Amino acid sequence: MTKDLFSPTKLGSIELKNRFVMAPLTRNRAGEGGVPQPLNATYYEQRASAGLIITEATPISTMAHGYPALPGIYTDAQIAGWKKITDAVHAKGGKIVIQLWHVGRISHPSLLPNGALPVAPSVIKPAGKAFTYQGLVDYVAPRALDASELAGIVADYVHATKSALAAGFDGVEVHAANGYLLDQFLRDGSNKRTDNYGGSFENRARLLLEVTKAVVEVAGADKVGVRLSPVNPFNDMHDSNPQALFNYVADALNPFKLAYLHVVEGGIHGGGIADPFDFDAFRQHFKGPYIANLSYDKQRGNAAIASGHADAIAYGVPFIANPDLVERFQADAPLNEADANTFYGGTEKGYTDYPFLKA
The answer to whether 64 touches 102, Cβ cutoff 8 Å, is yes
Give, as one character, the DSSP assignment of residue 143: E
Is 180 known to be catalytic? yes
Residue 186's nearest CA partner among 125, 122, 123 is: 122
Angle between helices 38-46 and 76-91 (to 10 degrees): 30
Backbone phi and psi for residue 172, each to the nearest 5 degrees, phi listed first: -135, 150
Distances, alpha carbon 302 to alpha carbons 20, 47, 102, 199, in Å: 10, 20, 33, 40
Cross-strand bridge partners of residue 173: 99, 225
Q: Coil, strand, or helix at residue 247?
A: helix
Residue 304 C-alpha from the chain's centroid: 21
**Alpha carbons 297 and 232: distance in angstroms, whole number:** 20
Under 8 Å CB-to-CB from 158, ≥6 apart: which residues? 214, 215, 217, 218
Catalytic residue, chosen from 74, 157, 180, 296, is 180
CB atoms within 10 A of CB 57: 25
Is residue 70 a contact partner of residue 35, using CB atoms and an 8 Å limit?
A: no
User: Per DSSP, which regions of 61-156 are E strands?
Assistant: 96-101, 119-120, 129-132, 135-138, 143-144
Q: Is the torsion defined by CA of 245, 247, 251, 254 positive or negative? A: positive
Catalytic center residues: 180
